[in-house]
Amino acid sequence: MTMFAKLKQFKDMRSKAKTLQNLLADEKVEASAAWGKIKMTMNGNQEAESVTIDQELLTDKTKLENAIKEVTNDAIKKTQRVMADKIRKEGGLNMPGL
């Protein structure tokens, strides 16, 4: 493969990645923890869009910290599944070795 062909392939991959990133920004996942007392909405690019915390959790720092970790990890796992599905549906990024 010539250097120009590799450069074109790289540009195509970058374009596909940007398109995928834009599609993922529109995807939303919701996660909750501590029996629904903390909720998080995250977009497909793993950016938190909203967090809601029940007043009851504000009185116990340790419970709140654990709930934040739990809801964040859950939201990330859900967005990873969304990303994998989108990549499959879009035909992948055709990256050798991935």
Q: How far apart are CA 38 and CA 75, in angstroms?
A: 12
Q: How many CB atoms neighbour CB 78 within 10 A?
A: 19
Q: Domain span at residue 84?
A: 23-89
* Number of domains observed in the structure of the chain: 1
In-domain check, residue 83 = yes
pLDDT for 9: 83
CATH number at residue 65: 3.30.1310.10
Q: How far apart are CA 56 and CA 66, in angstroms?
A: 14
In-domain check, residue 94 = no
Structure-block tokens of residue 37: 């007392």
In-domain check, residue 29 = yes
pLDDT tens string, the chain, 98 residues long: the values are 788 888 888 888 888 888 888 888 889 999 999 999 999 999 988 999 999 999 999 999 999 999 999 999 999 999 999 988 888 887 765 555 44
The b/e string for 57-74 (b: 16+ C-beta within 10 A; e otherwise) is beeeeeebeebbebbbeb
In-domain check, residue 31 = yes
pLDDT for 13: 83
In-domain check, residue 1 = no
In-domain check, residue 52 = yes
User: Residues 61, 66, 67, 73: is their CA dihedral positive or negative?
Assistant: positive
- For tokens 């504000």, the residue is 58
